[in-house]
Structure 1
């Protein structure tokens, strides 16, 4: 996991000064540092005139003594160069052939990664520098896009210390929870990382009252490290449910909620961000504040949908609790192998006709289209059609028109429609376990609004574009869902969610052994081709910032629509020195990761974009 730093030897008086949220005069060079001055006044970091963040080998890189004192301030929870999982597979002091076999066998499972201090579940964004050799042979294990130091935070004070240290030294700061992120936002080469995984408290509040918004009812206050499987179980035990993702290991109170967050319950209650009643946050100034409807309201607005690692670091979030109700789910699949491609596509076209009524009924359909270029066979998978608060009969009534049409086309499926006594049981039984990202693919997304489905002509147009993507060998993942706009939901969530009927993803794949130039060309052509087709038929719509491509053009409009200008203003006000940065985050156009291979990943220095 990594080495804990030694205790250091600074006097208690200096340590007390370091522990304040006030910070010091800009630092000239490490040689002149009074360690206590790192945290004594709120001024600009010492690299405001430098082009890049501060890195090892730079004159202003913190001394070993400075890191040791930071370690003391965070209760000896600073990890020095934590090792990635696959380091046991390469020659060196950590080599362990038996452990490498275990790591390799479970590499694609999310459960094998989120407990590691640096692992990202997007190896492409990391830089592909340390994977098991039989998955991708990088010849040796280098740190690539992994951070150099990690604060294994368990208290808000630990987060404050990390923010203050990064701001006043100019070291790049990143935030990691569980490592789930398509774009690799939880990593950064040679950065200081704040790992929030162990903020695990869960508190049930029987009656939470917010006089300003008018909400009065049950709520849960949870640490940002609480994962979906933990909060769903806790809510179920109290007779409730909460809005969270379908993926069981995602830390839903961190980047998920801050990015908006779609859910199996979104067609009933809205996005994850719409549920937030209060947040406890460490700001770029190192202050620990409560953000809610009456306190720090700009921060509260921005952090509900404005994206993680941008405005502050949340340590806990309070969300609305909803009833736990019976739920019905269905899983089935079919291919073009026996019926032929034209019949297969006729079945998909028929399904498109039901997207509006199914979403309006409060359901959540998670389905896939998988092409096989070697056989020419196309596959459809429903995994699942999820109907919260619906009886078996109600769900059958929703599905039956399309199932009847499938039968008429000669497509035989077993819909396996199953009724569960609770949302929790249905969720636990119905969704596939999320996996670690592929080494030769990246995903882009588009939200198709209701207007894309209101006429036969528009439905035909959308269907033809989906088919074209499959015939171009794009794996597709789709969510037939709408994001209702609950009362008092004014927040930074992308307005495109409010009109969405189909949240669609497609992936570009490339030769993993190709050159960097070949990979970049494939990714750029994908954006100019298949993704541009999707954008062209949904003008003014958007994309989902948590499941997107780092090359998404005009990402501000795509991820936030007309809310982006306000978010930029709040970013400039709350974090004028860009202590917080994540790729494609608000204000990130001022910076660029200069990767060593020229590809969009975290394996390089973070530097200002020169005009």
Structure 2
């Protein structure tokens, strides 16, 4: 620290806040650390309680797609996300790590076994539940680029499961006559309500995936990793599928069930489709909220939830032409972390929905206009915040202007995380935007 040069850490750079880069810093790029290993029998460093079977080792720069294909060679699945170009061991896993296996096995942070890291004092450490357990805890959900430079991530992996998928896509036939009057879209309201009413049962049966809603259409992709021929997913979604099929106010473009032998094959197919149907090279803004189980417990709170989501859909479209909301039930309902072994926001443990309002635009926007748009998007979740006081949002997928970011991203763990930060990085070498210990614009 003779020259007071701080360090920023970049893996693949998938970050909505730009935390992987910072002015006047020395940037350490971990993307080329890309080795992997599989241990059928794993011996942890000085920690017999962490010994176990089926542990994967990822160097810091391994991207998800490569990891899925590597572990599929051993008939194993790793608890990563949908986007294959994300570096799993970086901010993704260190910020929680959400994906199609979250309902079944928990977040990727829940499945962490051991890390190799370099701390601010230059020491190489192997951390786990026995060695530097406070640092291990902080890096299991407390955000990347904050406490140490991670070089290797060891994580529990699982025998591969077939992936079963229910898809449904349709346009609202009323939408053209309604114009911008989204709040009076009866089909949207009734389908959202049915979705919310089904969610507790779907979550109990470990159904995940996402449903996307737009003012003019919807797209359903419900996913179940499960060792059968798809009958469990069909049973779980049968009434909802019939409800959608019977509607006369939808112009259906696709409807059906598919099964894939494993996650790697499933993602290869969906990624190939996305290259044709999904835009790239665009600008985007988010606003998100985790919705707790109690909101789904009564007609009154479900009505409030549906109203809040629809208000967000309507307001977003008044700000940008390319908008929609993703409702993602990828929450760790089978891993309640009752012993608080991870630093993931506690709101994850009671959530059934992760609501993500997305806005996109194609050409560069003037700074003032972009600021107004981002601030406008931040307000989209205000109705949802009122339904979930003391709750939060996924720190990897949220609005970078979030004012109450300590509570929203870290919850009740924040003060303890600050103490870990002070212990292992007392001079703030690794500070990043709205990370634990961030001291504001003077950074």
TM-score by length of 1: 0.65
Partner of 1:182: 16
Give the C-alpha shift of residue 478 in structure 1: 2.0
Partner of 1:354: 198
Query: Is the deviation greater in 336-345 or in 281-290?
Result: 336-345
Question: In 1, Cα distance between the equivalents of 2:415 and 2:200?
Answer: 31
Give the C-alpha shift of residue 460 in structure 1: 1.2
Partner of 2:3: 169
Give the C-alpha shift of residue 215 in structure 1: 5.5
3-state SS of paired residue (1:578): coil
Partner of 1:192: 26
Within-5 A mapping of 1:207-606 = 207-209=41-43, 213=49, 216-337=52-173, 341-371=185-215, 378-382=216-220, 384-389=221-226, 390-410=228-248, 411=250, 412=252, 414-430=254-270, 432=274, 438-439=282-283, 441-472=284-315, 473=317, 474-483=323-332, 484-485=334-335, 490-508=341-359, 515-527=366-378, 529-588=379-438, 590-592=439-441
3-state SS of paired residue (2:114): strand
Question: In 2, Cα distance between the equivalents of 1:510 and 1:460?
Answer: 31
Give the C-alpha shift of residue 306 in structure 1: 0.7
Query: Is the deviation greater in 541-550 or in 188-197?
Result: 188-197
Partner of 2:38: 204
Query: 1:214/1:316 Cα in 2 relative to 1: closer, same or farther (>3 Å)?
Result: closer
Partner of 1:109: none
Within-5 A mapping of 1:121-136 = none
Query: 1:192/1:566 Cα in 2 relative to 1: closer, same or farther (>3 Å)?
Result: same
Give the C-alpha shift of residue 521 in structure 1: 3.1
Question: In 1, Cα distance between the equivalents of 2:157 and 2:365?
Answer: 49
Question: In 1, Cα distance between the equivalents of 2:294 and 2:48?
Answer: 34
Query: Is the deviation greater in 274-283 or in 483-492?
Result: 483-492
3-state SS of paired residue (2:131): coil
Query: 1:217/1:510 Cα in 2 relative to 1: closer, same or farther (>3 Å)?
Result: closer
Query: 1:370/1:344 Cα in 2 relative to 1: closer, same or farther (>3 Å)?
Result: closer
Question: In 2, Cα distance between the equivalents of 1:240 and 1:291?
Answer: 24
Question: In 2, Cα distance between the equivalents of 1:231 and 1:191?
Answer: 30
3-state SS of paired residue (1:391): coil
Are the equivalent residues in 2 in contact too, given 1:510–1:522 (CA < 8 A)?
no
3-state SS of paired residue (2:210): strand
3-state SS of paired residue (1:318): strand
Question: In 1, Cα distance between the equivalents of 2:71 and 2:155?
Answer: 11
Unaligned runs of 5+ in 1: 1-44, 46-167, 372-377, 593-606
Question: In 2, Cα distance between the equivalents of 1:530 and 1:348?
Answer: 17
Question: In 2, Cα distance between the equivalents of 1:183 and 1:347?
Answer: 33
User: 1:262-299, CA deviations, whole angstroms, 9 ceiling, x for partnerless residues?
Assistant: 11000011101111111000111111111111111111
3-state SS of paired residue (2:264): helix
RMSD over aligned Cα atoms: 2.2
Query: 1:275/1:514 Cα in 2 relative to 1: closer, same or farther (>3 Å)?
Result: closer
User: 1:293-333, CA deviations, whole angstroms, 9 ceiling, x for partnerless residues?
Assistant: 11111111111101011000100111001110122112321
Give the C-alpha shift of residue 520 in structure 1: 2.1
Higher relative contact order (CA 8 A, sep 6+): 2
Query: 1:508/1:453 Cα in 2 relative to 1: closer, same or farther (>3 Å)?
Result: same
Question: In 2, Cα distance between the equivalents of 1:435 and 1:302?
Answer: 35
Give the C-alpha shift of residue 191 in structure 1: 2.9
Greater per-residue strand proportion: 2
3-state SS of paired residue (1:170): coil
Partner of 2:320: none
Give the C-alpha shift of residue 522 in structure 1: 3.3
Within-5 A mapping of 1:67-216 = 168-209=2-43, 213=49, 216=52
3-state SS of paired residue (1:400): helix
Question: In 2, Cα distance between the equivalents of 1:496 and 1:393?
Answer: 32
Give the C-alpha shift of residue 570 in structure 1: 0.9
3-state SS of paired residue (2:380): helix
Give the C-alpha shift of residue 512 in structure 1: 5.8
Question: In 2, Cα distance between the equivalents of 1:407 and 1:515?
Answer: 44
